[in-house]
Chain A
Amino acid sequence: MHNVGIIGAGPGTWALHLPTLGALAADYRVVHIADAGGGRAGRIADRVGARASSSAEELLADPDVHVVAICTPPDSHAELILAAIDAGKRAVFCEKPVATTPEELTAVLSACRAAGVALVIGTNHLFDPAWDRVKHHLDTGAGRVLSVSATLSLAPNGRYHALVSDPVPASAPPARPPIDPEDRELSAAIVRQLVVGLAIHDLPLVRDLLPDLEAVLHARAVAPIGYDIGFRASGALVRLTAMMHPAGADTMWRLTVVTTHDRVEIDFPPPFVHGGSARVRVRDEAGRVIRFPIEREDGYLREWRALAELLDGIGAMEYDELELDARFAIALADAAATAVREGAVR
């Protein structure tokens, strides 16, 4: 049994990780939840019989906490991971991204390696069992990857919170300024933020197939909030497109891989919900359409299981892979932001 302390009391905690950890009660027990003084930690902690506090320092000082889960805004992740290591914690689960700059990343991974701390980043698509099957299919097939695309059409997350938990009232988050194509600096900043915070779910999968990031081909912000990025990696072409819309159609989150022989489509479930693994459809070299069977568990469950395996000595900590994934994402985010700043498309 691993005692978890969660830093952050937003939907990522009450709608995602608490229900997920509740489903893994044989492995995990949440013992402490901390927020930044907003008061929600107490209400959420009551749900699971955990302690609540109003600072990360209090949580990290709690000797009952063995595993620290970081569910705070991205800019705070690296600092909190380092603080958790300083506090002598054995393991960290950190929502994506692990870091937002190369310097932060170097510091975090050096500290993790030195202390032997287990670290799992919540890029749940990488842990989705469907991806293992797709990777096996691609690795054993005759095809060479020609292109990869990730298409995200995202409904408001609140729609899904109510499907997995009892909602916790909260003041509305500050509204993001809408994309203004004329304001390149703002657009560049938004695109960078979205790459390290949203596209990053799929980038480890892209890097699994196409490890060498060569060049950004085009990058532009998409209204009201989103991005459209083309880049070349390992000799293939990649497109990442996302649009967050304020209402309307349900979320679509699709990764498509085209090889010389077939086309593989992976439809990931909407965020927060637990509907089993992603749906996979392969159009093979003869034009046959094949659907993979789904697995009961999704990436959210599997990422926590992966951490349990590390803690139990079953799994091996792959710092190098984690680092390369993060560097790939940061490099892409920087290059895309530069492209947007310089005129978006070229």
Chain B
Amino acid sequence: MNRVPVWVGDASFDAAIAQLPERVVRSAQPRGAICVVDGRRERHENVRTLLAEDAAAVVLAHPGRARPELIGALDEAVVPVVVDRPLLRADDAEVVSREALRPRHILVEAIGARPHFRAVLLDAVGWVRILDAGEIDVVSRARTDDAVLAALRSSSGVEATVSGARLSTAVEPALAVDGLGERRLEVELDVAAGIRAVRVHGENGALVHASADEAHERLALRRALAALDGTEVADLDELRRDSRIVDAILGSALA
């Protein structure tokens, strides 16, 4: 059995490792391993050390809390970087992409408590990117102490509106995506309520896609394994694009 080592600084990926028993094994050393980096607490110096110690791939968890220096360190990596985004899962994105929808207007609403707010906005913007392949610009933004509203326009001509509200409670974040058009997409993601739904509404009713109940950590590890086998991942590039837009929306006051 040729298992790929996984190095992680805490127990957050233990279940995922246990659920890939023939493909990965926990390792005490980063050398040659898929290294899980926690965006909330990992320092960029440590990431550079991991990379210098020949990490085979990186999984970035909690990217919404990662400092720019950390992303900068990962930019220097010559190994694949997979970004774990529970509200913007690659499998959900693939389901949506397969539908080949061409929404005329995209709406995304995000809610989250202060610690999650930037992360949920990143994923909100990520959904716009998934639904429209063009370059996205912020054409209008407004904010209050606890809410943002941004009008976006893509180079493809599609427009989008993203709103976010920062809740005063500690509850987990939620996202709602609507792709308006003759075939209407509705994505509902709510961590606290355990809702993860992709629906496509057409003339004859709604198609509710089955959501695979695979933990997002396991999905991230599987994608890292695939990347090691040669599948290209553009996660970091996409994260950077999404970050640029979120920075433009937020300015500095709400970040």
Contacts and interface: CB of A to CB of B under 8 A. Distances in A.
A245 B151 CA distance: 21
B181 interface: yes
B243 interface: no
Interface size range on B against A: 35 or more
B144 A239 contact: no
Contact of A147 (B163, B171, B178, B190): B163
A228 B161 contact: yes
Interface in B138-179: 139-140, 142-144, 146-149, 151, 153, 159, 161, 163, 165-169, 171-172, 174, 176, 178
A181 to B, nearest CB: 9
Contacts of A230: 140, 142, 149, 151, 161
Interface in A211-247: 217-218, 220, 222-224, 226, 228, 230, 232, 235-237, 239, 241, 243, 245-247
B36 interface: no
A289 B203 contact: no
Interface in A279-309: 283, 285-289
Nearest to B110: A258
Contact of A232 (B142, B169, B191): B142
A172 B107 CA distance: 32
B202 A249 contact: yes
A249 B182 contact: yes
Interface in B100-125: 104-105, 107, 109, 111
Interface string A318-345: 0000000000000000000000000001
Contacts of A256: 109, 176
Nearest to B192: A287
B140 A346 contact: yes
A263 B202 contact: no
A134 interface: no
B172 A146 contact: no
B151 A345 contact: yes
A236 B147 contact: yes
A72 interface: no
A226 B148 CA distance: 22
B174 A263 contact: yes
A223 to B, nearest CB: 6
A260 B168 contact: yes
A151 interface: yes
A241 B111 CA distance: 19
Interface residues of A, number: 42
B209 to A, nearest CB: 15
A237 B140 CA distance: 13
A223 B167 CA distance: 33
A341 B128 CA distance: 26
Contacts of A258: 109, 111, 147, 165, 167
B159 A220 contact: yes
Nearest to B195: A289
A252 B183 CA distance: 12
Interface string B1-38: 00000000000000000000000000000000000000
A226 B203 CA distance: 20
Contacts of A147: 147, 149, 163, 165
23 contacts: A146-B147, A147-B147, A153-B180, A217-B142, A217-B151, A218-B139, A222-B104, A226-B180, A228-B151, A230-B142, A241-B107, A245-B180, A245-B182, A247-B182, A248-B202, A250-B201, A252-B178, A258-B109, A258-B167, A260-B146, A260-B167, A260-B168, A287-B192
Closest 5 CB pairs of A and B: A287-B192, A248-B182, A218-B140, A249-B201, A260-B168
Interface of B: 104-105, 107, 109, 111, 139-140, 142-144, 146-149, 151, 153, 159, 161, 163, 165-169, 171-172, 174, 176, 178, 180-184, 190-193, 195, 201-203, 205
